[in-house]
Amino acid sequence: MEDLSRYPWVGHSAIMGRVAREWQDVDTVLSYFGARHKRARARYEAFVEEGIAQGRRPELVGGGLVRSLGGWSQVLSLRRRGAKMFSDERILGSTEFVQGIISDAEQREKETLRLSLQISTLATLAEKIARAEGLDNRELRSGSRKKTIVRARRLFSQIAVKKMGYSGAEVARFLGVTTSAVNRLAATSEMPDVAKYI
């Protein structure tokens, strides 16, 4: 683990706080392991150690279809028999699973496009939410921790990130808050009021 923390060609050293890389989004990775960096880093490190303890995993080598079927010999055998398999190199799983994932992704993409046409920019969304929540548009972008403003910012983050497809970093720049704050707000359970704005 100590060698990994010093190794310059992977992102681990930045995530552990040993190296500063402006371009690496450490906050997003750490947000999956906890709200506070110190505790999140400890959990992340434990997660990596568990993975190392598992050793080499040959079943995780190769493309999605190859892995799903158990190797190239199985793929070739199916081909010789004329069997057709639906696959995607990015996804490990059966034909039905892969089709379901791709179908869900296409549905989300259509919804994102619909919202992008309906609410064209982050500024439009901010104006809409601020007006409906009884706030001034500038308050939403003020960084204030007032309960009503944080609530509106949470709504904004959930719609912008989860529904419209903006990155946490883009939304954070717009709001004038940190990327980790936006990612935390977007990742919390979806607010019922989201439906009013989409």
Asked whether residue 88 carries a pLDDT value surpassing 70, the answer given is no
- Distance between CA atoms of 116 and 167, rounded to whole angstroms? 14
Q: What pLDDT shows up at residue 93?
A: 67
The residues near 69 (Cβ < 8 Å, ≥ 6 apart) are: 75, 78, 85
Confidence band for 39, pLDDT divided at 50, 70 and 90: very high
**Alpha carbon of 102 to those of 69, 70, 110: distances in Å?**
19, 22, 12
Q: What pLDDT shows up at residue 198?
A: 72
CB 188 within 8 Å of CB 37: no
Q: What pLDDT shows up at residue 115?
A: 58
Instruction: Give residue limits of the domains in the chain.
Output: 2-53, 119-197
The per-residue pLDDT for range 98-147, each reduced to its tens digit, is: 778 777 777 777 766 665 655 668 888 888 899 888 898 888 888 788 89
Q: Class for domain 119-197, per CATH?
A: mainly alpha
- Distance between CA atoms of 107 and 96, rounded to whole angstroms? 16
